[in-house]
Amino acid sequence: MTQGTNVFNGDTVEVEPGGDSVLLMGHNASVHLASDTAVRFFRCGDTSTVQLLRGQMSFRSTPQRPVQVQLGDATIQPTAGQMVVGTVSLTSPTTANLGAQQGSFTVTAAHEGKSVLVNQGESRLATLTTPASQTSANPPLCGVAAAVPSNAVSTAWVMIGLGTAGLATGLALSTHQTSLTCEQKGALVSPYSFPCQ
């Protein structure tokens, strides 16, 4: 993509290794995609849904332009009426970290039939509950076919952990953290800047 390119309903955006991209949704809402990340974008009225296929992203949701994230059968929905800044990172094919930097969001896992509130400064660890070989396509979003059926992210996820000592600390508890570069760690902590030495 070149700067200023429009993204349409159902489009997939991929960021190559070493790259970086920001999708502007209007009304100060945005999605920051880190290196080696792929997402699919859907627009339903004023709400934007970003389906994370691989990599890591941070999002800014505003009351005027809500941004929600889909990860397999799990949906991350910002609390209504709040400015919400959050991060979602697929740390391995079977684990993901979800964190709230500002505001709060609700994670709903469809197969579990329950929701979990993630408050500001907290993070959650999600794991796959079924093998990737048993994947199935996600239901359509906004009238557009959703995930690539062969993608492992289209399986069921369950939240198993909670960190309350601050977002940076909570994300640092991941056993996969040591395999991340400084820039990747920075993308988990802040959508703006992170000092790398």
Indicate whether 123 pLDDT > 70. yes
At 9 the pLDDT is 82
DSSP 175-190: TTGGGS-HHHHHHHH-
What architecture does CATH give domain 12-189? Answer: Sandwich (2.60)
pLDDT in tens, 145-167: 554 443 444 455 565 554 433 33
C-alpha to C-alpha distances, 129 to 45, 89, 111, 195, nearest whole angstrom: 32, 17, 10, 36
> Tens digits of per-residue pLDDT, 11-38?
889 999 998 899 998 899 999 999 999 9
Q: Pull the structure tokens for residue 169.
A: 């600390």
* Residue 167 CA: distances (Å) to CA of 9, 174, 190: 31, 12, 10
Question: Domain map of the chain by residue range?
Answer: 12-189
What is the reported pLDDT for 38?
A: 92
The residue ranking higher by pLDDT, 149 or 93, is: 93
What tokens does 157 get? 């996820």
Could you tell me if residue 87 is left (phi over 0), alpha (psi between -120 and 50 degrees) or otherwise beta?
Answer: beta
Cβ-defined contacts of 19-27 (< 8 Å, 24+): 23/50, 25/65, 25/67, 26/64, 26/65, 27/62, 27/64, 27/65
Judge if pTM exceeds 0.85.
no
- H or E stretch at 22: strand 21-26
Q: Look at 182 and 121; give whichever has higher pLDDT.
A: 121
- pLDDT at position 160, please? 54
pLDDT score of 127: 79
